[in-house]
Amino acid sequence: MLELQYLIFTVIILALIFDFINGFHDTANAIATSVSTRALRPNHAIVMAAVLNFLGAMISTGVAKTIGGDIVSSPDLVNEKIIISALFGAIFWNLLTWKIGIPSSSSHALVGGLIGAVLVSVGNIGLNWLGIGTIIVALIASPAIALLTGFVIMNLLCHFLQNASPHNVNDNFRKLQIIAAATMAFSHGSNDAQKSMGIITLALFSGGFLSEFEVPTFVKILCAAAMAAGTASGGWRIIKTVGGKIFKLEPASGFSADLNSSIVVFGATLLNLPVSTTHVVSGSIMGVGTAKRTNAVHWGVAQNMVKAWCLTIPITAAVGAIAFLLVEQLF
């Protein structure tokens, strides 16, 4: 029993570390556009994003239940060692991609880590492939949807503003962009913080500490606070990539990208689907940029990002599997 409690404690600590890293890794999602267009000062943007991340994380637990219940076939087949290994794989990838400044998906990393750890421990029987397929479809479809809707929104704006003064447009949309960035931060918290909630709840449920798969209030508060703290610490390497290297944003295009991203992410939250806010924001910026001018988008940077996204699940699955073999030796 003492060993089980120790392992549960380790899961909670690692999940909160993952949430903290997710916060500073994905800070760019909420504030890169508003910072790059100078609608907000960086420090003000980070504080705003941290507060709204926390509030967004407290509104629901549907995504947490999807992460905790739809990847594994049964909680009885998953133990704390598997979850620890999965978290290690996800944390490793997040830190690596942050270090080299490439936006990647914390959601993909967590799913990949869990798949690898389960496969090497209990085998194929431990995975719910239908649930995994649904999650992966949502993760793949969301940036494509964001690109398309970003293209449409930007085209509509250009149509309505074609006779307006560029100076007035920039001034007005710089103010509106603050609101759009705020909604993006709230949406980010509503989806991303729930992934750690789901992992912790899965560990508590499989360990017999919960009688049903419901996210406890203390888990919601801990995960929301960890993500907010991570957001407050900033993630400047990725902010530079998202904010300026994909497409040179102006206030109107920044507003369009943020508004579009927040709608797509929050829509996924309402459907209880985990999505990558990094992918969605990047897709939105590409869509907005394409609407302005196709060759204005730096497709070379976009290609590097897509390569990182494609590698995320295989690499984190491999790291999760190796981590499980090591954890088995240690405990």
pLDDT at 59: 87
173, 174, 176, 177 alpha-carbon torsion, rounded to 10°: 110
Mean pLDDT of 233-244: 57
**Model confidence at 162: pLDDT above 90:** no
Instruction: Identify whether the C-beta of residue 183 lies closer than 8 Å to the C-beta of residue 53.
Output: no
Calpha distance 312→97 (Å, rounded): 10
Q: Average pLDDT, whole number, for the chain?
A: 84
* Residue 316 banded pLDDT, cuts 50, 70, 90: very high
Using one digit for the tens of pLDDT, what is the confidence trace for 111-131?
999 999 999 999 999 999 999
Q: Under 8 Å CB-to-CB from 105, ≥6 apart: which residues?
A: 139, 276, 278, 279, 309, 312
User: What is the reported pLDDT for 232?
Assistant: 77
| Residue 297 near residue 289 (C-beta atoms within 8 A) | yes
Cα separation, 194 vs 277, in Å, equals 13
DSSP 8-state class, residue 37: T
Q: Is the pLDDT of residue 106 over 90?
A: no
For residue 329, what pLDDT is reported? 85
The torsion defined by the Cα of 35, 38, 42 and 48, in degrees rounded to 10, comes to: -80
- Taking the model in full, what pTM does it have? 0.85
pLDDT bin (cut points 50, 70, 90) of residue 168 is: confident
CB atoms within 10 A of CB 187: 28
**pLDDT recorded at residue 250:** 80
Q: Residue 140 has what pLDDT?
A: 84
Residue (of 252, 254, 285, 296) closest to 162 by Cα position: 252
pLDDT recorded at residue 231? 78
Distance CA 50, CA 32 (A): 14
- Please provide residue 193's backbone torsions phi and psi, each rounded to the nearest 5 degrees: -65, -25
Q: Round to whole Å and give the CA distance between 60 and 272.
A: 9
Supply the pLDDT for residue 39: 78
- Domain coordinates in residue numbering, the chain: 2-330
Q: Please report the pLDDT score of residue 44 as a whole number.
A: 81
CA 247 – CA 232 distance, rounded (Å): 25
pLDDT of residue 121: 93
pLDDT of 234: 62
| Residues with Cβ within 8 Å of residue 125, at least 6 apart in sequence | 73, 77
The confidence score (pLDDT) of residue 269 equals: 93
pLDDT of residue 300: 74
Per-residue confidence (pLDDT) for residue 90, from 0 to 100: 92
Name the residue type at position 161: L
Using one digit for the tens of pLDDT, what is the confidence trace for 242-270?
545 566 778 888 888 889 999 999 999 99
Residue 322 has pLDDT above 90, yes or no: yes
pLDDT band at 145 (very low <50, low <70, confident <90, very high): very high
Report pLDDT digits (tens) over 128-139: 999 999 988 888
Helix axes 42-57, 27-36, angle to 10 degrees: 150
Q: pLDDT tens for residues 60-92?
A: 888 888 888 888 888 888 888 999 999 999 999
